[in-house]
């Protein structure tokens, strides 16, 4: 919620531990070096030569300790990369020093390695693990536990071999074999005893965890068998990780309905050709996610129009809401040539325009409207019924907004401006009357979805898509169900954007 633009992995942590994190939880090499150089310019080092040791390593350690506090028991610190990479060396040195700084019993080193299966010989090989640990020890770090990733379960003999050759207690060699679904992994690690071993190493009382909710999630995932085909209209579909949070949020909505969400990846530039060939006819719903630049925009506009005209559930996110606005302006309001000034500076009808606060901004990095902003929802609207309340907070990342000069034209139509900023200046949500689900938001609700707590918009979107797939009328869940969902979401602190 604080506007931090972070690494993809942070979203995995938020979803799995159901904690809302901040920019302080993401420390990149660039941010570390930037902080050190800024400190040198301020004179913090009193003219000393700035070096990797101690200045860079001290900054890394400072980032770790920054997360500690009276309400924090354990700080989980992931050092990304591979042992032996040049980029990782300062981080390894920092965590080596960290144990000396805070005491041996206050640090547990968990090393994740790969145990590959060699098909022709039918063997699992421990050599990569052995060499990785040898390299790690050459940097002064002895792992306390080793988590072995493998596509098949490790035998007891292999575990003992790794224990002996890597100087790790047998019970600290943990197998994390491939599971039927990713949400089983915490249960696998629990069964392997990793939690008990970490508590022993850190001298913490071992408390029996309550995994009732997680067990129920795994059961829901396994029971989610009703197929729902969702077309994702994207500009970057060759790199599907660009939409990972969107896909995960759609799956979360599917778990809620017992539906198995199948994503159809659709390149935005190809939409018009696919429409002509009737290729999108069998989709149960469309998601139009965010993006930047002119490429593929007309395809997104066409997809929004197709969903509108054919009663196909459609969820627009950020740019997705903007192209829905453009489609409606052109094809319903009759505003020929309507567009966003981002893509056509000479459009006669800039229904999407640059925000006033962005007009004098020249730097691109970190200068957008970032972080969480409150919106007030129209009572009785689809989005208000989905959320179960009329005041919500969502994360944003954009420069362009619905042009308020055109509000009256839209308000006279069937397009409902169902959510605005508290000062009523910015349009945050739109929806179409008489449509099963044609909803757009300027925000990025995908960032707040959890497998155990799906985001209301994705929950209702998948519900409408499932209704289409099963040939029945879509319905909204009763408000009290949404109240329970949102109460659970609000019980945690602010998130990172």
Buried b (16+ CB within 10 A) or exposed e, 20-50: bbbbebbbeeeebbebbeeebeeeeeeeeee
Whether 299 contacts 272, CB under 8 Å: yes
Tokens of 426: 């910015």
First to last CA, the chain: 5
Whether 98 contacts 75, CB under 8 Å: no
3-state secondary structure at position 157? helix
Whether 296 contacts 235, CB under 8 Å: yes
Whether 245 contacts 11, CB under 8 Å: yes
Whether 148 contacts 154, CB under 8 Å: yes
Scan for tokens 């101690």, then name that residue: 54
Active site positions, annotated: 318, 444, 446
Whether 391 contacts 374, CB under 8 Å: yes
The CA-based dihedral angle spanning residues 394, 262, 190, 150, taken in that order and rounded to the nearest 10 degrees: -120
Q: Which residues, at least 6 apart from 102, have a Cβ–Cβ distance to it below 8 Å?
A: none
Q: Of 472, 495, 437, give the one whose Cα is nearest residue 288.
A: 437
d(Cα 147, Cα 172) in Å, to the nearest integer? 8
Strand arrangement of the beta sheet that strand 400-402 belongs to? 339-340, 350-354, 400-402
Tokens of 482: 């949404």
Whether 440 contacts 316, CB under 8 Å: yes
3-state secondary structure at position 377? strand
Tokens of 481: 């169900």
How does DSSP classify residue 185?
A: H
Sign of CA dihedral 237, 240, 246, 248: positive
Residue 402 parent element (H or E): strand 400-402
> Helix H segments across 203-260?
212-223, 244-257
Residue 431 parent element (H or E): strand 427-432
Backbone angles phi, psi at 338, to 5 degrees: -60, 140
């Amino acid at each position: 919620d604080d506007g931090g633009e972070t690494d993809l992995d942070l979203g995995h942590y938020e979803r799995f531990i159901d904690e809302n994190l901040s920019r302080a939880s993401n420390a990149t090499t660039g941010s570390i070096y930037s902080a050190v150089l800024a400190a040198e310019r301020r004179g913090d080092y009193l003219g000393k030569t700035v070096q990797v040791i101690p200045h860079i390593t001290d900054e890394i350690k400072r980032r770790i300790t920054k997360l500690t506090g009276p309400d924090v028991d354990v700080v989980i610190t992931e050092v990304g990369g591979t042992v032996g990479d040049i980029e990782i060396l300062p981080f390894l040195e920092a965590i080596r020093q960290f144990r000396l700084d805070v005491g041996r019993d206050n640090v547990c080193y968990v090393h994740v390695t790969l145990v590959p299966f060699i098909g022709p010989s039918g063997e699992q090989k421990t050599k990569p693990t052995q060499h990785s640990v040898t390299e790690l020890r050459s940097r002064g770090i002895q792992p306390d536990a080793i988590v072995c990733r493998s596509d098949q379960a490790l035998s007891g003999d292999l575990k003992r071999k790794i224990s002996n050759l890597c100087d790790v207690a047998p019970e600290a060699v943990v197998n994390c074999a491939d599971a039927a679904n990713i949400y089983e992994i915490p249960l696998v690690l629990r069964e392997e005893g990793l939690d008990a071993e970490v508590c022993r190493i850190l001298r913490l009382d071992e408390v029996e965890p309550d995994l009732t909710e997680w067990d129920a999630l795994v059961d829901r995932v396994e029971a989610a068998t009703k197929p729902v085909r969702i077309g994702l209209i994207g500009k970057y579909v060759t790199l599907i990780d660009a939409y990972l949070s969107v896909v995960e949020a759609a799956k979360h909505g599917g778990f809620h309905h017992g539906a198995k969400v199948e994503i159809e990846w659709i390149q935005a530039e190809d939409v018009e050709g696919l429409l002509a060939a009737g290729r999108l006819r069998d989709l149960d719903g469309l998601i139009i996610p965010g993006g930047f630049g002119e490429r593929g925009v007309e395809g997104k506009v066409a997809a929004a129009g197709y969903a509108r005209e054919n009663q196909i559930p459609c969820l627009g996110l950020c740019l997705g809401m903007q192209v829905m606005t453009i489609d409606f302006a052109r094809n319903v309001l009759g505003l020929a040539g309507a567009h966003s000034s981002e893509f056509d500076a000479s459009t006669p009808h800039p229904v999407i325009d640059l925000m006033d606060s962005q007009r004098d901004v020249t730097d691109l990095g970190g200068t957008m409207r970032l972080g969480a902003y409150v919106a007030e929802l129209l009572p009785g609207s689809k989005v208000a019924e989905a959320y179960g309340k009329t005041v919500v907070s969502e994360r944003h990342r954009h420069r362009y907004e619905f042009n308020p000069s055109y509000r009256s034209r839209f308000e006279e139509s069937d397009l409902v401006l169902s959510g605005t900023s508290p000062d009523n200046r910015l349009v945050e949500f739109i929806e179409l009357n008489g449509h099963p689900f044609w909803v757009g938001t300027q925000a990025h609700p995908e960032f707040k979805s959890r497998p155990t707590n799906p985001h209301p918009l994705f929950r209702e979107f998948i519900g409408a898509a499932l209704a289409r797939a099963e040939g029945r009328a879509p319905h909204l869940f009763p408000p009290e169900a949404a109240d329970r969902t949102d109460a659970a979401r609000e019980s945690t602190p602010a998130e990172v954007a």
